[in-house]
Amino acid sequence: MTTSPAHIKAQHRIVSLLEDHYDIVIVEHSMPTPNPKYVYLGEEFTIKPYDLDVYAFSIKYNCLCKYTTLGVEIDGKVGHKTSKHQTIRDAQRTDSLEKQYPYLTMKRFDTKDLVGRGYVNPKTKKRHPILTDAEILAELGVFCTHV
């Protein structure tokens, strides 16, 4: 699956924010989960892996973070609401991940909220505002002020 430059930039923005608060931060981390549509590989069915855009765990010493393990999904559209099917599929994936890994907390962001839109709205003549670092950290449950 190809990844757009804006998506990569959004991933790296999240990583740069979380690196100060978590010991381990991984981009494109594979998490095997049960899937209603099994993948058949030769002789047996397997569980399909789900790739998290950013995965962080192991809170640094003296950091105040709400979640011990965090998975971040970065969508190209707000909530992946391109179609009803995608919205339902994303909700099922999130539920499946949180059931399989009870310590994991999933958060979703729109790419445009992290790195902005590439165009000016023709009606308002304004760009879509991006979230500040403080707003992103608050959404991710990071309440440290040591940085």
> In the chain, what are the domain boundaries?
5-139
Above 60 in pLDDT, residue 2?
A: no
Q: State percent of the chain over pLDDT 70.
A: 76
pLDDT digits over 92-139, tens only? 888 888 888 889 999 988 888 888 766 666 677 666 678 888 999 999
Question: For position 11, what pLDDT does the model report?
Answer: 92
Q: Nearest-5° angle of CA 48, CA 57, CA 114?
A: 80
The pTM score is 0.79
H/E stretch holding 8 reads helix 5-18
**pLDDT tier at 39 (50, 70, 90 boundaries)?**
low
Q: Considering only the top CATH level, what class is 5-139?
A: alpha beta
Residue 23 to residues 20, 69, 125, 127, 134, Cα–Cα distance (Å): 8, 11, 42, 35, 20
